[in-house]
């Protein structure tokens, strides 16, 4: 008989069930919290959402400025111009690509920074098997949407890029929702709905994009910050 293993199991059970400072209800809540931490990625920070949303708003405003400047569409007057040249269209496409890539890198970098900081405060590893699974599952719809956007550029259909990115980003969030916080599923559904609306209201597609990637993320981040980041700070203060 492995007495050492029995001793370790007894010590683990004692930590969970025999804490004299907790009543039975608190003990059950503690066990539930422990199980959630071991099966779900809970290190998403509210500041990550706020950061991504801010980047989205700035990026969207730049896109609106570039489009208006190119003469393809005037968002201030709500009409399309047909007299722009192929050169201006290629230049616009290049500007949009550079803006999209730069925004993605900056937004992701900031999101990782704030989430890693939260994980460090909680004393849990940021990269684990759940995180790796989320990255793979998140990347599949996102990369698929990226190739579709490249096809849209190739066939001069860049007006469909905003709805496309919203929908595939929402699908990516929906895929990983079961592995992380419940609020991610709600955010995913909102992104998909905005993307569908943008498909039928193409003249306002960039506006929907700014709402989805900008304001929704900021609202989501504030909710997450008040609901989860506050608990993390209280735990750190008690320790």
Blockwise average pLDDT, block size 10, the chain, 239 residues: 44 46 53 51 82 95 85 54 56 86 92 88 81 90 94 86 94 90 90 96 91 95 82 48
Question: Would you state the pLDDT for residue 237?
Answer: 46
pLDDT tens, residue by residue, 36-58 = 455 466 678 889 999 999 999 99
pLDDT at 18: 45
- Taking the C-alpha atoms of residue 84 and residue 74, their distance in angstroms, rounded to an integer, is 12
Inter-residue contact 140 to 121 (CB < 8 Å): no
- What pLDDT is stored for residue 17 in this prediction? 46
Query: Which pLDDT score, from 0 to 100, does residue 121 have?
Result: 84
Q: Given this model, what pLDDT does residue 40 score? A: 64
Strand partners, 73: 80
Read off the tokens for 184. 């991610």
The two structure tokens encoding residue 147: 């190739």
Q: Phi then psi for 146, rounded to 5 degrees?
A: -65, -40
DSSP reduced 3-state for 73? strand
- Domains of the chain, by residue range, sit at 42-238
Burial readout 198-225 (b: 16 or more C-beta within 10 A, e: otherwise) = bbeeeeebbbbbbbbbbebbbebbeebb
The pTM of the full predicted model, rounded to 2 decimals, is 0.75
């Amino acid at each position: 008989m492995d007495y050492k293993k029995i001793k370790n199991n007894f010590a683990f059970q004692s930590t969970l069930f025999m804490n004299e400072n907790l009543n039975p209800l608190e003990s059950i809540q503690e066990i539930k919290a422990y199980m959630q931490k071991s099966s779900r990625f809970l290190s998403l920070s509210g500041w990550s959402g706020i950061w991504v949303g801010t980047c989205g708003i700035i990026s969207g405003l730049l896109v609106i400025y570039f489009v208006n400047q190119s003469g393809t569409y005037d968002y201030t007057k709500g009409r399309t111009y047909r007299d722009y040249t192929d050169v201006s269209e290629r230049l616009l496409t290049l500007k949009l690509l550079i803006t999209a890539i730069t925004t993605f890198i900056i937004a992701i970098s900031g999101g990782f920074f704030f989430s890693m900081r939260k994980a460090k405060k909680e004393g849990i590893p940021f990269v684990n098997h759940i995180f790796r699974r989320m990255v793979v599952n998140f990347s599949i719809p996102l990369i698929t949407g990226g190739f579709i956007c490249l096809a849209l550029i190739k066939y001069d259909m860049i007006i469909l890029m905003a709805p496309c990115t919203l929908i595939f980003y929402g699908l990516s969030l929906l895929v990983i929702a079961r592995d992380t916080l419940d609020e991610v599923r709600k955010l995913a559904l909102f992104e998909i709905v905005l993307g569908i609306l943008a498909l039928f209201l193409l003249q306002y597609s960039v506006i929907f994009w700014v709402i989805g990637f900008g304001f929704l993320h900021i609202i989501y981040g504030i909710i997450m910050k008040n609901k989860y980041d506050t608990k993390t700070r209280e735990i750190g203060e008690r320790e």
